[in-house]
Amino acid sequence: MRIIEERRSLLVPIVMVLFFFNTCHLQVMSCPMQTTNCTDQDRKLLEFPLNLEYLEAEFFLFGALGFGLDTVAPSLTMGGPSPIGAQIANLDRLTRDIVLQFAWQEVGHLRAIKKTVKGFARPLLDLSKKSFAKVMDDAFGRKFVPPFDPYANSYNYLIASYLVPYVGLTGYVGANPKLHCPASRKLVAGLLGVESGQDAVIRTMLYARAKHIVHPYGVSVAAFTDRISDLRNKLGKRGVKDEGLVVHKAMGAEENVAGNVLVGDKMSLAFDRTPEEILRIVYGTGNESIPGGFYPKGADGEIAKSYLD
């Protein structure tokens, strides 16, 4: 009995030491979640893509239904201004079905991000025909006559959609290694997965029509994607991070194919972009401090506003 009591007396401090060690270990492991650096940097990086998620949600909702967040989820706008010029598109049944799925997915993305960070009100978005027409004019270096209308038909709408998810997904790729909290990285991975899927669907639908001549411009679908990608590379100012649907074989996967339905680097990994690169592209100015394009008054969030200030 005495021996048992002595062993018990020895076990108590050992258990206490182990408990103390494990508690400290858990605190160290969870430390990034509690540091100012983690919460502040993660917050900024998670808030920034709301700018693009708002744009995608409104463009897809209006394209499929003729109305947007003000109707389907007004609380998500946080009182931000309604988009300029957005309208229902003249789509075939399949394209409308797919675009509607994208639209509701984007609503979900807004909810997911705002469940994690406070976010900000919907910024002013210019989704007018004029806004898209300017992008196409800049991409081709000439004015289209008549001006490009993204809402005119399924071909035009898909080409216009080529502008949207890809920029966002490169931003998620760029943000992921900068995030400290596991919850933040999990959220971005989930967003990236669906955004990449959307981009893949759009590119596949366009690839199936790559040789189709878009009237009245006399330009193929593939040529549109090439010029848009070239423009984004030019505006981003960080080299080639964008490619059209058909490339030189030397630029294709393992230098073996010219088809480029999924874009990637030499090892077929997704390209990354910084918030600064994204702002240069979506503003259409090549300068993160000069608003324009789809964001006439600039994007919101601490990162974007730091350049406007």
Using CA atoms, how far residue 45 sits from 10, 12, 110, 174, 274, in Å, is: 51, 47, 14, 10, 10
In this structure, which amino acid lies at residue 1? M
Strand, coil or helix: 58:
helix
Listed range (6-15, 105-114, 206-215) with the worst mean pLDDT:
6-15
DSSP label at 220? E
Distance CA 268, CA 58 (A): 31
Single out the residue of 161, 171, 66 nearest to residue 113, CA to CA: 171
- pLDDT for position 309: 74
In the numeric block, which tokens belong to residue 233? 């590379």
On whether the pTM is more than 0.85, the answer is yes
- pLDDT for position 38: 64
Listed range (11-20, 141-150, 278-287, 300-309) with the worst mean pLDDT:
11-20
| pLDDT tens readout for residues 18-41 | 443 344 343 333 333 333 456 799
At residue 53, does pLDDT exceed 70? yes
- pLDDT for position 39: 79
Share of the chain above pLDDT 70, in %: 88
At residue 42, does pLDDT exceed 50? yes
Mean pLDDT confidence for 129-158: 98
Residue 146: cis peptide before it, omega within 30 degrees of 0: yes
DSSP label at 243? -
Taking the domains of the chain in order of start, what are their residue ranges? 40-306
At residue 128, does pLDDT exceed 70? yes
Mean pLDDT confidence for 194-218: 97
The strand pairing partners of 213, in sequence order, are 220
At residue 98, does pLDDT exceed 70? yes
Mean pLDDT confidence for 255-265: 95
The strand pairing partners of 126, in sequence order, are 84
Residue ranges in 146-245 assigned as alpha helix (H): 154-161, 165-175, 182-207, 221-236
Task: Provide the mean pLDDT of the chain.
Answer: 90
- Of the CA atoms within 13 Å of residue 178, those in its CB half-sphere come to 16
Strand, coil or helix: 126:
strand
| pLDDT tens readout for residues 151-202 | 999 999 999 999 989 999 999 999 999 999 999 999 999 999 999 999 999 9
Mean pLDDT confidence for 53-67: 98
Using CA atoms, how far residue 210 sits from 158, 225, 228, 244, 263, in Å, is: 12, 9, 14, 10, 15
Cβ count near 31 (within 10 Å)? 11
Single out the residue of 56, 113, 229, 283 nearest to residue 304, CA to CA: 283
